[in-house]
Amino acid sequence: MPSPTLKPFGLVLRAVDFAEKAHRGQPRRDKDKSPYIHHPIAAANILANEGGIDDPVVLAAALLHDTIEDTSATFEELAGLFGEKVASIVLEVTDDKDLPKEERKRLQVVHAAGKSREAKLVKLADKTANLRDIVDLPPSDWSLDRRRKYFDWAKEVIDEIRGTNARLEAAFDAAYARKPTA
């Protein structure tokens, strides 16, 4: 359990600090190799400012959503620093990197509807941020076909969790409408 004196704003700031350190040195796939931390911050920003989400547990989970999957952070470490609820949400949105990529993608679609509401919120923000990045800062080694396929797959995932948050779904739909054509 996190410190009983940790206030909601403190939880979110601790999550930003932890995520920044965990992702330090990891670049995004765009041509400029932007710092990875931009992505979880974008996801939390989408939740708060477009989805109207003010739950510090959900915002902290959004900031930490890729730490178990893409860094050396563990569930136990997150639970100790941020509480069981935050760590559980992060674990829900974490892919099993031992599986082949296509299987991980398939499982995201299959399991999306069964996630907690909090995990669905994080997933909506994550996919929206990814679509925006693919348009605005496309991965340098992704073909047009690969970018378009990512858009369609992301929509399959989100279609499984419709009814979670209308504002976030509208933000996703607006991002999807920008699907690359050239």
Closest among 21, 104, 4, 19 to 62, alpha carbons compared: 19
- Active-site residue identified among 20, 30, 55, 69: 69
**pLDDT-derived band of residue 35, with 50, 70 and 90 as boundaries?**
very high
Whether 70 is catalytic:
yes
Residue 36 CA to residue 61 CA, distance in Å, equals 16
Q: Are 12 and 63 in contact (CB under 8 A)?
A: yes
Residue 26 burial by Cβ neighbours in a 10 Å radius (0-12, 13-18, 19+): middle
- Active-site residue identified among 30, 55, 70, 77: 70
CATH of domain 8-176: 1.10.3210.10
Residue 110 CA to residue 157 CA, distance in Å, equals 8
**What token pair was written down for 69?**
């999957």
**Cα dist from 131 to 8, 90, 154, 176, whole Å:** 29, 20, 8, 7
- Does the pLDDT at position 122 exceed 60? yes
CA quadruple 125, 127, 131, 136: dihedral sign? positive
**Range 98-107, long-range pairs (CB < 8 A, 24+ positions):** 105/153
Closest among 161, 8, 165, 23 to 85, alpha carbons compared: 8
**pLDDT-derived band of residue 132, with 50, 70 and 90 as boundaries?**
very high
- Does the pLDDT at position 55 exceed 70? yes
Residue 171 CA to residue 51 CA, distance in Å, equals 8
The larger pLDDT score, comparing residue 78 to residue 7, is at 78
Return the percentage of the chain with pLDDT > 90, whole number: 94
DSSP secondary structure, 44-111, as one string: HHIIIIIS----HHHHHHHHHTTHHHHSS--HHHHHHHH-HHHHHHHHHT---TTS-HHHHHHHHHHH
Q: What is the pLDDT of residues 76-109, one digit of tens each?
A: 999 999 999 999 999 999 999 999 999 999 999 9
